[in-house]
Chain A
Amino acid sequence: GAVVSQHPSRVICKSGTSVKIECRSLDFQATTMFWYRQFPKQSLMLMATSNEGSKATYEQGVEKDKFLINHASLTLSTLTVTSAHPEDSSFYICSAREDRVRNEQFFGPGTRLTVL
């Protein structure tokens, strides 16, 4: 149980376009989901906390208008990178917290974004 999926696993886009990444909890409900960014050979940095039915909470330094987060249901959160540029190229990982097990996050497999 507690499986989290991400789609797509890999995406290449042109500079200036927008890219949407989906994060789904497959077998549990997740009131809260998290979005992380990981640069090569570095740790995970939390970008934002996504709560179902409300606005996401962004970490300091993360542009809200650049990284749009929508958590429309208890099993789906989306991250849209708007007007992507090469510096947005990174590995994006989501996680979901099961409501009944509030102390633990379950991680998706990640999405590799490359902006040309």
Chain B
Amino acid sequence: AQSVTQPDIHITVSEGASLELRCNYSYGATPYLFWYVQSPGQGLQLLLKYFSGDTLVQGIKGFEAEFKRSQSSFNLRKPSVHWSDAAEYFCAVGGGSEKLVFGKGTKLTVNP
């Protein structure tokens, strides 16, 4: 069965610092991978996605993620965090004709 692990429940960074959010997945075939961001009381906004091809994908708001098949990882990165990036981040696997499975999420706090 497919599954997603986000090891970090809560991460705090200073504004302007770099960020990496970890995501590991378990999937039987080539996965479709997604990162979503959720502000309090809001729905999910897609940051980026990986289906195939270049393993480094660029997303919105300056985010990028790298697919590493050997490590079953799809970590999200941003070189310089802004205060507005504070939110909950979810990694998900699946898509296509299959359902999406979400990780438990990582809450990002940004200190001024």
Contact = CB atoms under 8 A, between A and B. Distances in A.
Interface of A: 6, 34, 41-44, 46, 49, 91, 93, 95, 102-110, 112
A83 B36 CA distance: 33
Interface residues of B, number: 23
Interface string B63-97: 00000000000000000000000000010000111
Contacts of B90: 43-44
A43 B42 contact: no
Contacts of B102: 43-44
B104 A42 contact: yes
Contacts of B101: 46
A107 B103 contact: no
Q: Name the prevailing secondary structure of the A interface residues.
A: strand
A50 to B, nearest CB: 12
CB-based closest 3 A-B pairs: A109-B43, A107-B44, A103-B95
Contact of B99 (A34, A104, A106, A112): A34
A102 B43 contact: no
Contacts, number: 50
A97 to B, nearest CB: 9
Given A93-B43, A103-B32, A103-B51, A43 B99 contact: no
Contacts of B100: 34, 46, 95, 105
Nearest to A111: B43
A47 B51 CA distance: 25
B41 interface: yes
B26 to A, nearest CB: 16
A65 B105 CA distance: 30
Contacts of A42: 104-105
Contacts of A103: 32, 49, 51, 95-96
B51 A107 contact: no
Contact of A105 (B51, B95, B103, B107): B95
